[in-house]
Amino acid sequence: MRSLEKLKEVASLKKKLLQGISPSRKRHRSVPHETVDAALLEWFNEKRQENIPISGPILLQKSEDLAKKLGDHSFKSNTGWLDRFKNRHGIVCRAITGESAIVDPKSVDEWKEKLPQILQDYDPKDIFNADETGLFYKLLPDRTLQMKGEKCHGGKRSKERLTLMVASNMNGTEKLPLLVIGKFENPRCFKGVKSLPVTYRANKKAWMVSSIFEEWIRTLDRRFLKEKRKVLLFVDNCAAHPRVPNLKSITLKFLPPNTTSILQPMDQGIINNLKIKYRQRLIKYILQCDEKKMEPNINVLISIRFLKSAWSDVSVSCISNCFRKAGFEDKSAEVIDDCDDEFEEDDDIPLALFAQKFNGSFDDIVRVDENLISVETRSEDDIVNDILGNSQTESVSTESDNDDEIIDSTEFPTFDDGKNSIHTLRRCLEASANVPEVFFTYLCEIEKFVNVSKTKQSTIHDYFNNA
């Protein structure tokens, strides 16, 4: 009987913790104006994620605003109510001056101390980190200064940005396919395209939102389940990353709030390295178009090709070093001191000259979108609608309206064209010295795929099935 009472007590405590009630409180009174309390707490958590300074007077004013929107006309804000609100939720209001500036060294040290225990049951190849970043995918150097620090909440700027979900495992041996989020579900440049080297999704502001995150996690979970793997995936703690229930193979682990600038492996140089390699390709493409007297056609499809190539080029040593810098120690891995942030000298020269042409630096071009908002932020109206139960489905544009996006009018190559190209490429490799054997292996695999696809394209069975 006593054990049953204990179970009820534990269940009650869990319920109160989920409601945001401090476990240290001995008496748990009912919350007056519960909807205002819930809305203000959610608004406060949103602003904390954005590192916006919050004070007592701001909370008082915001509670009145939310009460009006919620239709609670009997609510009166005062310092007594605010003190009780802060005590209920363990809130200490203080100024916030930036992500890295508010990192609590004690929280970081505590996390790094317990991290080995969290990792001990997993192989390094099954420990992953994922993080979003914003990308001005068609940004040219002459527009760098005017867009530096651009928050890009929506409007015209959002047509020129993408959000990337970048993820890899701890030892750098497995880079997950990039998740690319654009503004339009079917950009005009996708006409005739049936396969992409990335996962592409759309959102009206080109942000990561909870629905896209959950779909991505569940798809990944099914893949790892087929591979019979148990995976530990670290992500940051934000509104766009919900706790996804009933995962079979993935255990989601959330990093401590406001510590990602130090504890997130992707933020230690992996994402920056990806952007360097992306813009390296972008600017080379612009230079090639300039030489041929052509107008550069930078659209979502071309940027996806560059992103795939750039991500493939991020080295194992860069990834493993960045995980190590964030406190993820792989004792079995060889320590390589060189960080892969640099690129070859032959590439550096045209990039630097191109940047100088516009009175800027290559570093400006690479880092122009490092503070770009990439995850869903909820407005007051979103919070109020959720509290009141008014669900509003977000619409996504199904077709691009970019006036400056050029459509490639050329026909797609046939399978015979592909076979001829493979033959030409093989001859080119044979005429070159010191070509790795694996290149010929990849070429054989591509040739096999083209031959099988051509056979499947039109057979006698297809004819009778269609008849």
Indicate which CATH number applies to the domain containing 155: 3.30.420
pLDDT digits (tens, 9 = 90+) for 283-335: 888 878 878 888 888 899 999 999 999 999 999 999 999 999 999 987 665 55
Strands (E), 263-314: none
How far apart CA 218 and CA 211 sit, in angstroms, is 11
User: Could you say which DSSP state residue 160 is in?
Assistant: G
Is residue 259 one of the residues assigned to a domain?
yes
pLDDT digits (tens, 9 = 90+) for 343-361: 444 444 455 555 555 455 5
Q: Say if residue 71 is in the same domain as residue 175.
A: no
Share of the chain above pLDDT 90, in %: 27
pLDDT above 50 for 393 = no
Q: Say if residue 146 is in the same domain as residue 57.
A: no
At which residue do the structure tokens 């001191």 appear?
A: 337
How far apart CA 129 and CA 184 sit, in angstroms, is 27
Is residue 394 one of the residues assigned to a domain?
no
220: domain range? 105-367
With vertex at residue 189, the alpha carbon angle to CA 185 and CA 190, rounded to the nearest 5 degrees, is 55
Domain end call among 367, 384, 402: 367
- Residue among 305, 336, 299, 306 nearest 321 (CA): 336
Query: Looking at the DSSP assignment, which residues form a beta bridge with residue 251?
Result: 232
Rounded mean pLDDT of 75-86? 82
Q: Say if residue 110 is in the same domain as residue 84.
A: no
Rg (CA), the chain: 26
3-state secondary structure of 13: helix
pLDDT digits (tens, 9 = 90+) for 252-286: 999 987 788 889 999 999 999 999 899 888 888 88
- Residue among 332, 308, 309, 330 nearest 320 (CA): 330
pLDDT digits (tens, 9 = 90+) for 101-116: 456 788 888 889 999 9
pLDDT digits (tens, 9 = 90+) for 114-139: 999 999 999 999 999 999 999 988 87
Q: Say if residue 55 is in the same domain as residue 83.
A: yes
Is residue 375 one of the residues assigned to a domain?
no
User: Could you say which DSSP state residue 184 is in?
Assistant: B
- Residue among 90, 108, 92 nearest 100 (CA): 108
Question: What are the residue ranges of helices labelled H in 22-74?
Answer: 34-49, 56-70
Q: Say if residue 78 is in the same domain as residue 147.
A: no
Residues comprising the chain, all counted: 467
Q: Is the CB of residue 132 less than 8 Å from the CB of residue 216?
A: no
Average pLDDT, the chain: 75
Cβ burial, residue 323 (10 Å; 0-12/13-18/19+): buried
Kindly report the backbone phi and psi dihedral angles of residue 112, in degrees, each rounded to the nearest multiple of 5, phi listed first: -65, -30
Domain end call among 54, 89, 124: 89
Rounded mean pLDDT of 384-395? 62
Domain end call among 367, 393, 425: 367
Contacts of 4 (CB under 8 A, 6+ apart): none
Is residue 403 one of the residues assigned to a domain?
no
Better-predicted residue by pLDDT, 23 or 171: 171
pLDDT above 70 for 12 = no
At which residue do the structure tokens 């909820």 appear?
A: 378
pLDDT at 177: 95
Residue 385 CB coordination number (10 Å):
15
Is residue 151 one of the residues assigned to a domain?
yes
3-state secondary structure of 366: helix
Is residue 95 one of the residues assigned to a domain?
no
Q: Say if residue 85 is in the same domain as residue 110.
A: no
Question: What are the residue ranges of helices labelled H in 120-253?
Answer: 144-147, 210-226
Structure tokens at 24: 């240290």
pLDDT digits (tens, 9 = 90+) for 446-456: 877 777 766 55
Better-predicted residue by pLDDT, 78 or 367: 78
Rounded mean pLDDT of 185-197? 88
Query: Looking at the DSSP assignment, which residues form a beta bridge with residue 180?
Result: 164, 200
Q: Say if residue 331 is in the same domain as residue 362.
A: yes
Is residue 266 one of the residues assigned to a domain?
yes
How far apart CA 213 and CA 276 sit, in angstroms, is 25
Q: Is the CB of residue 241 less than 8 Å from the CB of residue 254?
A: yes
pLDDT at 225: 96
Q: Say if residue 60 is in the same domain as residue 114.
A: no
* Domain CATH number, residue 40: 1.10.10.60
Structure tokens at 205: 């502001």
Q: Say if residue 427 is in the same domain as residue 288.
A: no
Q: How confident is the model at residue 170 (pLDDT cuts 50, 70, 90)?
A: very high
pLDDT digits (tens, 9 = 90+) for 211-249: 999 999 999 999 999 999 999 999 998 878 889 999 999
Is residue 407 one of the residues assigned to a domain?
no
Q: Say if residue 150 is in the same domain as residue 241.
A: yes
Question: 231-235 and 161-169 as β-strands: parallel, antiparallel, unpaired?
Answer: unpaired
pLDDT at 98: 41
Contacts of 320 (CB under 8 A, 6+ apart): 170, 171, 172, 330, 333, 336
pLDDT at 21: 47
Query: Looking at the DSSP assignment, which residues form a beta bridge with residue 231?
Result: 250
pLDDT at 237: 85
Q: Say if residue 430 is in the same domain as residue 333.
A: no
How far apart CA 318 and CA 333 sit, in angstroms, is 13
Structure tokens at 78: 């005062």
Rounded mean pLDDT of 354-374? 59
Q: Say if residue 82 is in the same domain as residue 133.
A: no
Strands (E), 317-425: none
Rounded mean pLDDT of 147-170? 68
Range with the largest mean pLDDT of 176-185, 351-360, 426-435? 176-185
Distance between the two ends of the chain, CA-based, in angstroms?
73
Structure tokens at 140: 């040219």
Domain count, the chain: 3
